[in-house]
Amino acid sequence: MAKSSFVFFFLLTLCIAGIANFASAAPASNFIKSSCSTTKYPALCVQSLSNYANTIQNPQQLAQTALSLSLDRAVSSKTFVTRLAKFKGLKAREHEVLKDCLDEVSDSVDRLTKSIQELKQCSSAKVQDFTWHISNVETWVSSALTDETTCVDGFAGKALNGKIKGSIRSRMVNVGQVTSNALSLINQYASKH
């Protein structure tokens, strides 16, 4: 009898803890959904940020997390393009496009890195300093987005076909979409400050 009471109380405790975790995650999840609804790619925004719902408490943390995700994907894409550029047997045009893309992705990574550092300054900045910091972030993220788009545009012609074109293009389109969402969330944060 004592054993079954213990099991009952143990299961009851687990259920209560699960409900409490669900209840605390729901407001954060709703905050993410609401914020992402105004981005250009809302489903991707929710999907990419929902894993961080428990750590996101405010618009600044949301923007910071979105920007970090953008940087992670840009770094991953840079690594991928670097590996492809080292393949033997590439045509001169393929090598040229890959090198140009690598330059663009490298610039994007640099700008996103600076943006993350600058965005951290916003939380403790005075109003006039906040405006300066957030303006830098918006400018750099916009430039990073342009870099990513320029890389994708390099693969638009018929000179490149096949797996190289498709694999890089799909990765860079995704990076561009995540960066676009991050910029939108940064703009939201700036407007609420």
Residue 97: per-residue pLDDT = 87
Is the predicted pLDDT of residue 27 greater than 80, yes or no? no
More reliable by pLDDT, 19 or 72: 72
Give, rounded to a whole angstrom, the gap between the first and last alpha carbons of the chain.
59
Distance CA 61, CA 8 (A): 40
Hey, what domains does the chain have and what are their CATH numbers? Answer: 2-192 (1.20.140.40)
Using one digit for the tens of pLDDT, what is the confidence trace for 33-42? Answer: 999 999 999 9
Using one digit for the tens of pLDDT, what is the confidence trace for 112-165? Answer: 999 999 999 887 877 778 999 999 999 999 999 999 999 988 877 665 666 677
Is the predicted pLDDT of residue 111 greater than 80, yes or no? yes
Is the predicted pLDDT of residue 22 greater than 70, yes or no? no
Residue 9: per-residue pLDDT = 53
Residue 28: per-residue pLDDT = 62
